[in-house]
A and B are shown apart, each in its own frame.
Chain A
Amino acid sequence: MKKFLSFLRSMRFGVLLLVLIGVCSVIGTVIPQGEEIAWYAQNYRSFHGAILLLGLNKIFSSWYFIALLVLLCLNLSLCSLLRLRTVVKGKQTEREIMASMPDQQILSGEGLSLLRSHMESRHAREEAKDGVTIWSKNGFGRYGTFITHLSILLTVIFGALALYTPTTEDHNIMPGETLTLSDGTAVTIDSFRLTDETGRLDYESMAEITLPDGRSSGLVPIRVNHPVSMGPWKLYQQSFGTTGSITVTDLSTGGTDVFYLTDMSFLTADGHSGLWFDVLYPDYIRDPSGEVTLITLTEGSYPNPIYQVRVIAEDVNTPTLAVPGDTLEVLGLRFTFNEPVEYPGIRFKHVSRLVNGLLVASFALMTAGLYLTFFCEPVLVKADEKGYAVGGPRPERMRIELEGLLADYTTEPEKEE
């Protein structure tokens, strides 16, 4: 059991897990993820069975990938605890160990004063006892690896929570319309625009969010990179589209209604006669003879929109083209063609702000931990009347620095038999 625990917390096991996670990640980018089964059958032919059996089509949510992450968490937890214990223990004893350490280099008197002034210039803490001087530097850096490992553990845990617990739903909402979510939250899109004041593409919805308890956000802009949070919801400006719009007037009552036409639709009062909407084209060219050529591609804009519809009256189907402003009358109904309407696609994410906050805090902790580990290397330098030695948790940098600085003043100590 002790051996097993020791393996679980070992660096070797940690490295093995990292390598396996790396291999899975490579596979996950080489084999496209989340496609239809038929797609794999078509593209991987005889291998597709193995791909599906091993879950290589959804590798990042496969049981073995999650198991690797869980084992990594376990390894990091045990390793972090061990590190903390080692760091605390080491801190208590390292000065005594350092004081009794034999000199690594013999220094001339001039070299010793150069070493002293160098350590002073590096603002190292100095302690002198029994003719031995010990300089220490970056003491807090000893916690760097502990903080780093702990923060990676927290990042994996909070990252998994932030990734898998929120629910998201996407909705297209027409300007002026209100959408009510499952919990009663209502979102009204007041207006939507595709470009900013300078004509640059920059879509923005003006929206009002009202929570079930009546609290309202007032009119707030939702833009790319600038989501809006309200209660448990976070709203993102996700996509946009353009749709046709027709106002229908009942000539007998005078009542009107506006319809947004994203798909083929039949606008009718009696189920037999009315207007069949086929498609809205963004542009067209009319030649001198009056012949119209419809254009489908105009890079997202609608410079000269034109509706392709069919008038259906008394079982006669008449294909017709109409531009905004045109009207058609069909058996008591008047159809007025409006300018196309641009609408936003809004993503609604039900999210825990606490989890997000903790995840971002883990990120900050990781950055601080790595900085401490690599750039605040804890080191001890001991000097007596003969020479000096470099020790402590991470002495490499100082050793190389002093070797270069004191090269002309040092001799190797004689090795004891």
Chain B
Amino acid sequence: MKILFFAALAIYAAATVLRFIGTAFKKEALLRASFIVFLAAFAVHTAFIVARGIVARRLPLSNQFEFANAFAWGVALMLIIVRSRMKADWLCVAAIPAVLLIMTYAALQPMEIRDLMPALRSAWFGVHIGSAVISYSSFVIAGVCGLRYILAAKKNAETRILDQMDYLSYRMITLGFLFLTIVILSGAIWAEQAWSAFWTWDPKEVWALITWIIYAVYLHLRLRRKRRGLFTAWFALISVPVVFFTFAGVNTLMHGLHTYG
């Protein structure tokens, strides 16, 4: 089964290389090919997740490897949906490498399948962690939009294109924010059932709250029209490392109730 994971990783890497070459040499055919390869990688990746879920007989979202793997899959899925709905091929140049980066992080984590510990066997498991996948993926796509905005603004791109990038970044943040709220609230209800308290100031909880606050500040600042554009693009971009820290850094550097492996 691991072969599916590494095959997906290798095909994502191929898609990234094709995308870079296509972008550097402005070859339209290569750019199209890179997306087709990316879709193939996504199909293999999906097959791996399904297979792992069947073997584990649960949602494969329980440890750092499984979450990182699902996170990469979530970013890939968001990219496919947004690209097709908004005709935003410009996302690919940064989003495909982002998927590869997260997959590489996943590859460095222990991969063995373990039984869920009793505290994780709850109906909230899927809601809480599934929402986190959607939320973090949305924030990554928003950051990618921010990066593209900054690069496009430097090249004096059309206002209509810039507005579309800015708005897409905002939409992804609203989606991510809604799901991050669901993550925090469902986690609170679950924590009350498992640990007897809605909130324990556990590092993971606090960093989820910090991430929520950062994006709440973004949403409020963006209400002012003059702040839209470069400012919000930078904001969306530099918030992404906070999301990564909440996801990976807290588990690695801080000890708490969410340290599951």
Contacts and interface: CB of A to CB of B under 8 A. Distances in A.
Interface magnitude class on chain A: 35 or more
A238 interface: yes
A403 B163 CA distance: 11
B206 A29 contact: yes
A371 interface: yes
B245 to A, nearest CB: 10
Contacts of A223: 118
A194 B155 CA distance: 65
Interface in B155-179: 160, 163-164, 167, 170-171, 174-175, 177-178
Interface stretch (A18-26, A259-267, A285-293, A310-318): A18-26
Interface stretch (B7-15, B61-69, B217-225): B217-225
Contact of A374 (B178, B199, B207, B217): B178
Contacts of A120: none
A225 B194 contact: yes
Interface in B4-37: none
A18 B216 contact: yes
A83 interface: no
Contacts of B244: none
Contacts of A403: 160
Contact of B118 (A11, A225, A360): A225
A354 interface: no
Contact of B181 (A11, A349, A367): A367
B175 A397 contact: no
Interface stretch (B72-80, B146-154, B184-192): B184-192
Contact of A224 (B119, B167, B198): B119
B117 interface: yes
Nearest to A198: B115
A163 B199 contact: yes
B254 A29 contact: yes
A396 B163 CA distance: 10
Contacts of B189: 360, 363
Contact of B178 (A19, A363, A367): A367
Contacts of A397: 167, 171
A227 B198 contact: no
A28 interface: yes
A48 interface: no
A227 B193 contact: yes
A14 B188 CA distance: 24
8 contacts: A19-B217, A224-B118, A225-B119, A225-B121, A349-B196, A363-B189, A366-B185, A374-B174
Interface of A: 11, 14-15, 18-19, 21-22, 25-26, 28-29, 33, 60, 159, 162-163, 168, 200-203, 223-227, 234, 236, 238, 347, 349, 356, 359-360, 363, 366-367, 370-371, 373-375, 396-397, 400, 403-404
Interface of B: 115, 117-119, 121-122, 160, 163-164, 167, 170-171, 174-175, 177-178, 181-182, 185, 188-190, 192-199, 201, 203, 206-207, 209-210, 213-214, 216-217, 220-221, 223, 250, 254
